[in-house]
Amino acid sequence: MDHVISGVAKFQKDVFPEKKATFQKLASGQNPEVLFITCSDSRIDPNLVTQTDPGELFICRNAGNIVPPHSNQTGGMTASIEFAVAALGVTHIVVCGHSDCGAMKGAINPEGLDNLPHVKEWLGHCRCATEVVKERRGEVTSEQLEEVTQENVIQQLQHLRTHPSVAAKLATGQVKLHGWVYNIGSGDVLCYDEANGEFERMSQAYAEQTLA
């Protein structure tokens, strides 16, 4: 904890003064372009991976980068998505999974979560991913962790489409959805290509298509 506290002191002394104008501008409001949904895993830093500054990403984090399907029961993710899309007007939504995801390991082996009942229930939102892989492979084990991680991103994109605010913006072309998987060990980012159903390494072509 000492290094966390000393980090605050360093921020106030060295970092904040260099970006004072930016923070003063942000003090009166935000205008992010991207809603970035990712895992709570401590090894992921969305701003570091995307090289973005404060104010550029509206970030939502939870175990497994999960988007619960829309329902009449309000939750933190549902409210945050609605706010980002309907109030802030984000134009892109990224769902970003990652390698060696503990949540995906739990989804593959839910019996191992009996002592973590809330985690087990939460990861029920990943069941579609494990069932798809099981149907495809005949079983789902830790050997399919990468495949489950990718499939989970696809399924959470599907869940996003059930949210009224997202569905409305998709219908009018005002929002684009993106599925990513970040590899912690290599730094690679794989992007889901809906046209061919495959994850491919981020490329200049992907960037051009995204910005088109």
* Other beta carbons less than 10 A from residue 88's beta carbon: 15
Predicted confidence at residue 212, as pLDDT, reads: 62
Enumerate the known binding-site residues for Zn(2+). 39, 41, 98, 101
pLDDT for residue 121 is more than 80: yes
User: 15-43: per-residue pLDDT in tens?
Assistant: 999 999 999 999 999 999 999 999 999 99
> What is the topology classification, in CATH, of domain 32-211?
Beta-carbonic Anhydrase; Chain A (3.40.1050)
pLDDT value for 115: 96
Instruction: Please give the annotated binding residues, written as ranges.
Output: 39, 41, 98, 101
Across residues 138-165, what is the average pLDDT? 97
- Bridge partners of 35, per DSSP, are 58, 93
Residue 207 pLDDT > 90: no
Reported as a single tens digit per residue, the pLDDT across 68-103 is 999 988 899 999 999 999 999 999 999 999 999 999
Residue 131 scores a pLDDT above 90:
yes
Phi-psi region of 100 (alpha: psi -120 to 50; beta: other; left: phi over 0): left
For residues 36-54, give the mean pLDDT: 97
* Whether the predicted pLDDT of 210 surpasses 70: no
Q: Domain ranges in the chain?
A: 1-30, 32-211
